[in-house]
Structure 1
């Protein structure tokens, strides 16, 4: 299948649906092929999670635990 860049812009959801059905779509601009939309398969999906990373371990900086009031008091002295 072939489509123009303008048509891709106007009908992107239909073109992506065609790719999901297994079609490859070449996108042209001024008659020149500039991109290709192709279906992906399970081998194309990375084997690592692409969602939220969960908790990130932070290094222990051996800093004192401060209460919210202590933090607020410290920040008052820094602000304008």
Structure 2
């Protein structure tokens, strides 16, 4: 189905009902496609936030393994 932006504005309830029924609607403006209205699917929304950068590789820093006691001892002298 195809509709103009003006028709969409005037008949949005009817067009949304068509999408709910499974129809895919292309909305045009001045003869050019500007939007697609399609049925909602549960898989459209990821279960977790998705960042724009994707996966990030964290480099190995080759730091020494410290025990909790060693960390506490180091931090003890840093406070005011």
Instruction: Tell me the TM-score normalized by structure 2.
Output: 0.55
Gaps of 5+ in 2: 49-80
Q: Which runs of 5+ in 1 are unaligned?
A: 49-80
Corresponding residue for residue 8 of structure 1:
8
Following superposition, the deviation at residue 46 of structure 1 comes to 4.2
Q: Aligned partners of 2:33, 2:6: CA distance in 1, in Å?
A: 13
Q: How many residues align?
A: 48
How far residue 45 of structure 1 moved from its aligned partner, in angstroms, is 3.5
Cα displacement (A) at 1:42? 1.6
- What is the Cα-based RMSD across aligned positions, in Å? 1.3
